[in-house]
Amino acid sequence: MRNIIEDTITQAVVASMREAEDARLRTVMTCLVQHLHSFAREVKLTEDEWFRAIRFLTAVGHITDDKRQEFILLSDTLGLSTLVTAQNNQKPSGCTESTDFGPLFVEGAREYKSGDDISNGASGEPCFVSGRVLSADGSPIASARIDVWQSDEDAFYDVQRRPESSLTAEHQTRGRLSSAADGTFNFRSILAGAHPIPHDGPVGRLLDALGRHPWRPAHLHFMIAAPGYETLVTHIFRNGGQYLDSDAVFGVRPSLIADWVRHEPGVAPDGTSLGDAFYTLQYDFVLNLRNI
């Protein structure tokens, strides 16, 4: 350990962890150190580049707070989140695929009844969403907890616009519902549009330097939980929308793309008469049984 040079440092660090009580931690950290060192060797990382990386991570840390998680954004934009989600959510054929959780979910969003308007005053074209929560054998799942969240027509989520103090009172285009006895759910909201991930910080500057845009294709976030089933975290993407082939966080799956159907002014699914055009979206979610 006192003659550590370029060729011996990796083995020295690995050896230093031999007393770790948590074998899994030792395995993970050993693999991390080996790849971190291999990376630095392969590109022959310079001292200046190392220091730029230190400054970058410091900036990521300093912009992160209760409302903004720049490390998750970094993980998302480097595809790590998608990889971790994919390798931990392999399911039988027929189950709805998972995708990234993202940094914009909020605990404690308002609860709604079936048919309610979760836009809560946000402006945008009306969109009526309906579907069923099912088990893989096609049987309905009653009383599933359904969290939904989306951006508004200005491409912002409510938490990106509003001061923290008014968060709970002012939630818009997010809420919690339950599936009915026959597994159905429905709610009114507004049409989701493409939206950029927060890109006024260090991750945005990195994307810019890499020639990448910060946009995500239009999507609705869903998190669906029911006793005995794996909790499903996913999005539904709008067919025909922009950025489906260049999602900044690599979240698109073909099975999660659905048609938002446009309707001329007339009677909406909830029986009201609308003077403007509106959209409908229908999607059934299939949950995977939890392993006992």
Contacts to a second copy from residues 119-148, by CB under 8 A: none
Binding span for a second copy by CB under 8 A among 106-114, 186-194, 248-256, 260-268: 248-256
Q: Which of 17, 261, 267, 277 binds a second copy (CB under 8 A)?
A: 17
Does 71 bind a second copy (CB under 8 A)? Our answer is yes
Task: Dump strand ranges (E) for the chain.
Answer: 126-135, 145-149, 174-178, 184-190, 195-196, 215-216, 219-225, 232-238, 257-258, 261-263, 266-267, 273-274, 278-282, 285-287
- Whole-angstrom Cα distance, residue 100 to residue 223? 11
Minimum CB distance to a second copy smaller for 26 or for 162 = 26
CB of 287 vs a second copy, minimal distance in Å: 17
How many CB atoms sit inside 10 A of residue 192's CB? 29
Binding to a second copy (CB under 8 A) within 170-229 occurs at 209-212
Does residue 22 bind a second copy (CB under 8 A)?
A: yes
Alpha carbon separation from 231 to 137, 173, 266 (Å, rounded) = 17, 21, 37
Helix (H, G, I), strand (E, B) or coil at 112: coil
**Segment interacting with a second copy (CB under 8 A) among 77-85, 110-118, 178-186, 262-270:** 77-85
By CB under 8 A, the residues from 218 to 247 that bind a second copy are 244-247
Question: Least distance from C-beta 251 to a second copy, angstroms?
Answer: 8
List the one residue out of 184, 192, 180 whose CA is nearest residue 220.
192
Name the amino acid, one letter, at 280: T
**32 versus 261: smaller Cβ distance to a second copy:** 32
106 binds a second copy (CB under 8 A): no
Q: How far is the CB of 58 from a second copy (least distance, A)?
A: 5
User: How many other β-carbons are positioned within 10 Å of the β-carbon of residue 111?
Assistant: 12
